[in-house]
Amino acid sequence: MKIITFLSDFGLKSSYVSQMKGIALSMTDAKLVDISHEITHHNIYEGAFVLKTIIPYFPVGTVHIGVVDPGVGNSRKGIVVTTSTHIFVGPDNGLLIPAAKKLGKFTVYEIKNQELMLNNVSNTFHGRDIFTPVAAHILNGVYFDEIGPIIKNYVDLNFEITEIKNKIVMGQIIYIDGFGNIITNIEKYKIRPLLEYDKELIIFTGTKKIKLPFVKTYSSVKKGEALATIGSNDYLEISVNQGNASKLLNVKAGDKVKIFLA
């Protein structure tokens, strides 16, 4: 089974996403799956996080197209990133790399072969004119070395760098989900050895300091109460049971957090 996924900041009002799907269906019989098209406009960081979260769940051989692309039409490269299981196609701006890293070793090819693109490449929409036809050609059997040269100087975001010292964790908010849950860049495997369930921790954000129980799930506390938990993507998450934690703490993606473990 062939699968292409699509992630972008295009929204669903315009036809940009469906134009890409039309190309994909003109060239393959792949199944097409939307990851999200509501990434905050031009927010590569947020797009990279969302793309990374879906990686464990798709079958081997899936091709992922990511288009959060504020530099379209200028000199930024287009790339294909190959791993042992999944393939990524999109701009060379860091968007694809965290997802690829999660899969271990990876190789970055610059897209140079114009025969793999649409005949008339626009200056404003490479998702349709380059990335989607390249993804379809890959599913149809094109060899990676026909795409273009391997490059080493690709752009990276390094967005999972945290610091843990003396039971103080310095991290960052990388995502606010649709429920208002605050997802940090602090990974489960780093914090679980230091913290038991049902203990308390203290979180500082820019302007707020709050003591929270570290619990197994949202409903471990009463409706409306705040909590910290390991979210379903294995990051430390700050939530309010059936409420909106991002409003309570007045934070946004990109804000720093400092956590004191008791």
The residue whose two tokens read 């606010």 is: 176
C-alpha triplet 175, 84, 37: angle, nearest 5°: 30
Q: Which string of x and - marks every residue 152-171 that binds its own copies (by CB under 8 A)?
A: --------------------
Cβ-based nearer residue to its own copies, 10 or 106: 10
Least distance in Å: CB of 18 to its own copies? 4
Q: Is 3 in the site for its own copies (CB under 8 A)?
A: yes
Stretch that binds its own copies, among 10-18, 137-145, 160-168, 247-255 (CB under 8 A): 10-18
> Which residues, other chains included, contact 21 with Cβ-Cβ below 8 Å and sequence gap of 6+?
6, 32
Q: Is 86 in the site for its own copies (CB under 8 A)?
A: no
Stretch that binds its own copies, among 53-61, 159-167, 204-212, 250-258 (CB under 8 A): 53-61
Which residues bind to its own copies, rule: CB under 8 A? 1, 3, 5, 10-16, 18-23, 25-26, 29, 31-39, 41-42, 50-51, 53-54, 56-59, 62, 70-74, 122-125, 128-129, 175, 177-179, 216-220, 229-232, 242
